Amino acid sequence: MAALGWLTPRRRSATARSVLAGEAAAEAARKTSAADDDAALLTGTSEEAPEEPAFPVAGDVRAAAFFDLDNTVMQGAAIFHFGRGLYKRKFFERRELTRFAWQQAWFRLAGVEDPEHMQDARDSALSIVKGHRVSELMSIGEEIYDEYMADRIWPGTRALAQAHLDAGQKVWLVTAAPVETATIIARRLGLTGALGTVAESVDGVYTGRLVGEPLHGPAKAEAVRALAAAEDLDLDRCAAYSDSHNDIPMLSLVGHPYAINPDTKLRKYARARDWRLRDYRTGRKAAKVGIPAAAGVGALAGGTAAALALHRRRR
């Protein structure tokens, strides 16, 4: 997969490929969530709370919430955890795991999505899944979630999502991770569904190509826009949550943007526009918090030094 303009950190408008990726993600999300829609709403409904918060507004079915995944809902990058699980099942060699480890170490140290490393991770993932059946990867993904992802969900962000579910609203993940992986995570968390990068498949077998481009930056905004139109949502009444300045297009699309565990650029941008912020990495509470949340978890540490050492030995 060739490097594309979306990988640069500067903001840019959506291209035709961004629109295609967004529309493909919205279509895939609606298909995968349709069967579970009633169950998800029942799971998220609670009428016994002593009082409803001002936001989200209970019963406002034209409102929904959109959550970025990596470092917003989950500590670290979902694609790395998925790669660890595939390596355990001998989908690829140790040198490929070293590359995944280095990408994750960089992500955890920097706290932001680095374009070069994110591109490398996605190229690796596409080459690994090529020729495998979608059903096979979905089944394995369920196991990988239990092994590597379940314990890495931020409790505070999970509480924010639950607040929307309790209000009777739909909650969607919006991520550059493969839509199949994102759908598994959304289902396990009791969310409505997921918008993710759509990998092309023919007769249920991955071709090693993408539909459009990875769901990143402007493509995320296009996916949310397409889903909102299909679901008859009022974006001014919707909320979006992210840690990355790359998601400013998506955050700017809704009436209630939230910066969660924000990188430096997003924190500055959010403060200038009076957006709400919360940082679960240190337990700090920003002054503007509109929804009650669980206590934050500690800073990430485990595995980083080992990954860096492994990378140095392999060089």
> Which run of H or E residues covers position 226?
helix 218-231
Burial class (CB in 10 A: 0-12, 13-18, 19+), 194: buried
Residue tagged active-site, from 60, 70, 151, 243: 70
| 70 included as an active-site residue | yes
CB 242 within 8 A of CB 52: no
Contacts of 108 (CB under 8 A, 6+ apart): 76, 300, 303, 304
| 123 included as an active-site residue | no
Following CA atoms 131, 133, 136, 141 in sequence, which dihedral angle do they give, to the nearest 10 degrees? 80
Contacts of 110 (CB under 8 A, 6+ apart): none
Residue tagged active-site, from 36, 68, 203, 232: 68
- State the Cα–Cα distance between residues 262 and 158, nearest whole angstrom: 16
DSSP at 254: S
Helices (H) and strands (E) in the chain, counts: 12, 8
Following CA atoms 78, 80, 86, 91 in sequence, which dihedral angle do they give, to the nearest 10 degrees? 140
Query: What values do phi and psi take at 142, rounded to 5?
Result: -60, -45
- Closest of 43, 69, 68 to residue 166, by C-alpha: 43
Gyration radius of the chain's alpha carbons: 18
- State the Cα–Cα distance between residues 182 and 236, nearest whole angstrom: 25
Residues marked active site are found at 68, 70
